[in-house]
Structure 1
Amino acid sequence: MAGMSRRSSRPARRPARTATPPSSRACPCGSGGTYAQCCGRFHRGEAAAPTAEALMRSRYSAFAERDEAYLLRTWHPRTRPPRVEFEPGLRWTGLEILATSGGTAFHTTGTVTFRAGHAGGELREHSRFERVGGAWVYVDGDVG
């Protein structure tokens, strides 16, 4: 029979399933692009987020990917915690940007209001961003 060897009674092994490569899987931020071309390039340090909204999206993706280094790197020095605590088992399921103010190349501050879904609920936050050394960083936010 197909898949069986005459010398063994074990069935032939099926090729192992591989995870979708980062270059082709959808970005967690919901942009519609691939992770590699969207937030992945920010996480890898190949580019800086050009707007406060882009930084917000990339930080959401960093939470989904559990990329502590990126989150700390993009947190304002005056409000940055010593480390990021990820809630065990929490799986982020989607991001919706509700409003933005400022946060473009012409601004030094900006805000983004968003809703982030997760298994079991959602987080809603009004986040504040500033430019430090020309790069957007997360300052803080009001949850609610």
Structure 2
Amino acid sequence: MEAPEKNELVAAALAVRQRAYAPYSSFMVGAALRCEDGSLHVGCNVENAAYPEGICAEAGAIAAMVSAGGTCIVEAVVCGGGSAPCTPCGGCRQKLREFGAPTMRIHIVNAEGAILLTRTLSELLPDSFGPSNLGHGG
């Protein structure tokens, strides 16, 4: 990812993280996705008093992308708090795989925007099951 594009994607994840609804855990997460057409889509985590009913930031960003007509993620940023990397949960890794190739890069940043690590989707979700397994897309 080129520096201006990376900065834009990181800035979008940082900004949306500030709008997260996390009254129970106080763990705010933001995600930003870049589609193949260059458009950006963001999402933040939304907790719920019935804990399993919360929404992850990545899922929110994917929903925003789909509602805008996007179908292909080429790069993503996930921003959490603290010093440990906030990688996508297992469910979100699979959700990202629905719209991204195994080679898609996912950058994990801290609350200040410093990149803590970068992984491909295949590194986070090896031997994944995706649309191509069902005869759709790549």
**TM-score, with length taken from structure 2:** 0.29
Q: Which has the higher helix share?
A: 2
**TM-score, with length taken from structure 1:** 0.28
| Structure with larger Rg | 1
